Amino acid sequence: MSPGACCCYMYQWFLKHCSIMSTVTPAHQLSSVPAKDILPFQSRQQPAVRLYPLSNYTFGTKETQPEEDASVKDRLKRLEEYYEKHGMRRSCEAILVCHEHNHPHVLMLQIANAFFKLPGDYIPHDVDEIEGFKTRLNDRLAPTGSLAEKDDHDWNVFDTLAQWYRPNFETFMYPFLPPHVTRPKECKKLYFIQLPTEKVLSVPKNMKLLAVPLFELYDNSQRYGPQLSAIPHYLSRYRWEFVDEDGKIVSWTPGGEVDERVKTKILAGGENGHAESGADPDVKMETKGEEPAAA
């Protein structure tokens, strides 16, 4: 268990066994001790990014999307064939961020109850980078059927957060290009997607869509791998404004204490197209042609 996950577990255990419960809303967490005045500490930073609550978004499921390759060996073989025809493969993945209890959560996919990945994929060799990326995102997350009428199928590609390189036809990727490598086989970009106030997202039935808090990802490469566990580092450059369901800013960076209710949430998906028993009942769930997903 990583140090961050261990601290989180101990904190949750303490709250549970000491019967500590807060009934004060974030907008009214006041103190009789005024904060010390300090000089501004935000030079050379972008304007604060607004994050909207998880409950603002509607999550559903759509038809299964089987993996293109049956094994890692097959995937690397297909990469080799692609490279021989078109050169370096371009891949794009999205970091979509919302908040729950005023803590940033990253939306990611889980496959076979074990493998985690960000939404996105490689883009065709003859397609523009951003347009191809948006098409891949819509393939993976855009709603279908009646839910599609509620969504504009567009994405705000806000910033490039990282680039990872695959030097050889192997599983290893690095956030730098090794000096002896002049022709990488693949370059993967991670984009920060700024979510609007509301949006409808649908996940294939053979996958799950999770909302993972940053403290769960941090220093947790054993569970999420080096790419996903580095996301808190990428996002640390931003200052956040946390907005509630009424559009009011209730918290901002630097924030308050850790909330014991903050944890990974299953939003949609799974083999039966429904969220499992860890889902948040306050999150809107819809499925195509089925009853709304239950908690």
The burial of 281, by beta-carbon neighbours within 10 Å (0-12 exposed, 13-18 middle, 19 or more buried), is given as: exposed
Residue 263, domain member (yes or no)? yes
Neighbours of 147 (CB within 10 A): 20
pLDDT at 14: 40
295 in a structural domain: no
Q: What local confidence, expressed as pLDDT, does residue 44 receive?
A: 84
196 within domain boundaries: yes
- Confidence class of residue 261 from pLDDT cuts 50, 70 and 90? low
d(C-alpha 234, C-alpha 236), whole Å: 6
pLDDT at 289 over 70: no
183-196 average pLDDT score: 97
Q: Is residue 109's pLDDT more than 70?
A: yes
pTM of the predicted model as reported, rounded to 2 decimal places: 0.77
Q: CATH number for the domain including 184?
A: 3.90.79.10
* Domains: count for the chain: 1
Q: How far is CA 198 from CA 211, 246, 261, in A?
A: 16, 12, 22
Of 103, 102, 141, 104, whose CA–CA distance to 121 is shortest?
Answer: 141
Q: Which pLDDT does position 26 carry in this prediction?
A: 53
Mean pLDDT (whole number) for 151-169: 92
DSSP string, 83-132: HHHHSSEEEEEEEEEEEETTEEEEEEEEETTTEEE-SEEEE-TTS-HHHH
In a domain, 233, yes or no: yes
Residue 49 inside a domain? The answer is no
Lowest mean pLDDT among 80-84, 113-117, 192-196, 282-286: 282-286
Partners of 90 in the β-ladder: 123, 187
Evaluate the omega torsion of the peptide bond into residue 66 and state whether it is cis, within 30 degrees of 0: no
Provide mean pLDDT across the span 120-130.
Answer: 95
* pLDDT class of 292 with cuts at 50, 70, 90: very low
- Domain assignment present for 3: no
Give the range of the structural domain holding residue 244, as residue numbers without chain letter: 57-285
Q: Are 285 and 279 in contact (CB under 8 A)?
A: yes
User: What pLDDT is attached to residue 20?
Assistant: 32
Give the Cα separation of 279 and 272 in Å (integer): 14
Q: What is the mean pLDDT of residues 237-241?
A: 92
User: Is residue 47 assigned to a domain?
Assistant: no
Query: What band does 33 get if pLDDT is binned at 50, 70 and 90?
Result: confident
Mean of the pLDDT values across residues 97-107?
A: 95
pLDDT of 57 reads: 95
Q: Is the model's pLDDT at 181 over the cut of 90?
A: yes
Q: Which pLDDT score, from 0 to 100, does residue 269 have?
A: 73
Tell me, what's the pLDDT at 279? 39
What radius of gyration, in Å, describes the C-alpha atoms of the chain?
A: 20
Confidence bin at 151 (pLDDT 50/70/90): low
| Mean pLDDT computed over 161-177 | 96
43 lies in a domain?
Answer: no
**Residue 67, pLDDT score:** 83
**Token pair of 32, please?**
């009789």
